[in-house]
Structures are given as C-alpha cells and as structure tokens.
Amino acid sequence: MTSFQVATIIQAQPQYGGLKIDIKQYIRDVPDFPSPGILYKDITPLLGDADAFAYAIDLLAERYESNEIDAIVGIEARGFLFAAPLAVKLGAPMVPVRKKGKLPFHTHSVEYALEYGTDVVEMHIDAVTAGRRVLVIDDVIATAGTLAASLKLIEQAGGEIVGCAVVVELTDLAGRDALAGYDLHSLIQY
Ligand code: AMP
C-alpha cells in the first residue's frame, strides 16, 4: 500500500468522533412537492454532510450488527442510498427492490394498491433465498404501502424479515400500524 492510499483511507474516516449529531438538522422540508399539500422530507442535506451521513449509517449498523443479517434490502430509489453503505458496514449482501420492469433478470413481483391505481415491486428470484434473515431499508415511511409490499415480496421468496429501518418516520400517516407484527425502527420521527 502506498502512502497516498494510507492517507486516503485515514481521511475517509468520519470526523464526528463519537459525538451525537442531530439528524433532524439535515432533513429539509419542501412544501408542496411533488404535489400541492405534500410536505416533502428531503434527505439530500444528510447525504451532503459526510459526518452526518456516516453517523446515520453507524446508528443503523450498531442496532443491527448482532442480528445475524444475511441480506439488506434497499427499496427504490432512496432506500438504496442507505442500504448500500449499511450492507458494506455489516458485511452483508445488498439487494435492490425496484419498481416494475427495472430489474434485468427474472423477478418475483407483488402488486399493491395506491391512492389511485396500483403499482408493482420486483426483486430478482435469486436475491433472497429460503430462510435468509433480511433487514429492509428505506429513507422515509409514510403510509408504508411500498414497504408492506416489499415485505410480502421477500416473504414470498422465503426470506425471514428481521426488521425494517427508515431514517424518517411520518407518524401522522400511521405507516407503523400498517406494519403490525414487524419490528420497525426509525432514526427520527415527525
Ligand atoms: P409510503 O408507501 O406512503 O410509505 O411512501 C412511499 C415512498 O415515498 C417512501 O419510501 C418515501 O421514499 C416517499 N415518500 C412518501 N412521502 C414522503 C414525504 N413526505 N417526503 C419524502 N418522501 C416521501
């Protein structure tokens, strides 16, 4: 290893040094996005601060490091942003759940109801096999429609849900109630 590589690795370590970071300071409210009446919780300021982002990933890693996780499922699209670094940190494979038609190989799929119409989530047939212990990650839980459909998808493949974790929980929308029977963990709540 060259001295340049050593320096790069040292610089990549988080600088927060074990201090607590208020994650709410890194979530931006955007009113009326993507449509009137929606208060959008924008996680890009969190991604944009290396220490705060590392802190959020470390909080999730600490919670699940002793849970013998076999796979971390990230839900399209912003769930990927948290699932991928967490998977690396926990030494577990990362599995994407995507909307219909986005995955290139054979898929399992589950259709679920939206306010108007339906949508479909898909996962590769070889991504989660029977008995695998799975942690499911998304950025925000609102009504939990997407998360609940993803849990069904994983269970159809034979996976065992160890838990679901999100950065932001919007408690007014009662997503937690829709996931009764599953362990839901959120880093911050509104
Ligand atoms: P839901 O199925 O209602 O829990 O929400 C589906 C997805 O939409 C979530 O995984 C979030 O990524 C996104 N989402 C829903 N509501 C919001 C919101 N108010 N702010 C940011 N993202 C949201």
Question: 187 or 116: whose pLDDT is higher?
Answer: 187
pLDDT tens per residue, range 77-123: 999 999 999 999 999 999 999 999 999 999 999 999 988 899 999 99
Residue 18: the pLDDT is 74
pLDDT score recorded for residue 19? 85
Q: What is the mean pLDDT of residues 168-178?
A: 95
Is the pLDDT at 135 greater than 90? The verdict is yes
Does the beta carbon of 85 sit less than 6 angstroms from any atom of ligand 1?
no
The CATH number for 118's domain is 3.40.50.2020
Q: How many structural domains compose the chain?
A: 1
Which pTM value belongs to this model? 0.92
* pLDDT score, position 116: 85
DSSP string, the chain: --HHHHHHHHHHS-SSTT----GGGG-EEEET-SSTT-EEEE-HHHHT-HHHHHHHHHHHHHHHTTS--SEEEEETTHHHHHHHHHHHHHT--EEEEEETT--SS-EEEEEEE-SSSEEEEEEETTTS-TT-EEEEEEEEESS-HHHHHHHHHHHHTT-EEEEEEEEEE-GGGTHHHHTTTS-EEEEEE-
Kindly indicate the confidence band of residue 2, based on its pLDDT and cuts at 50, 70 and 90. low
Question: Ligand 1: which residue has its CA nearest to atom 6?
Answer: 146
Of 27, 140, 167, 190, the one to substitute when testing ligand 1's pocket (max ligand atoms within 8 A of C-beta) is 140
Q: Is 108 near ligand 1, meaning CB less than 6 Å away?
A: no
Distance between Cα 78 and ligand 1 center (Å)? 10
| Lowest-pLDDT choice from 1-5, 46-50, 175-179 | 1-5
Which residue segment(s) compose the domain that 117 sits in?
3-189
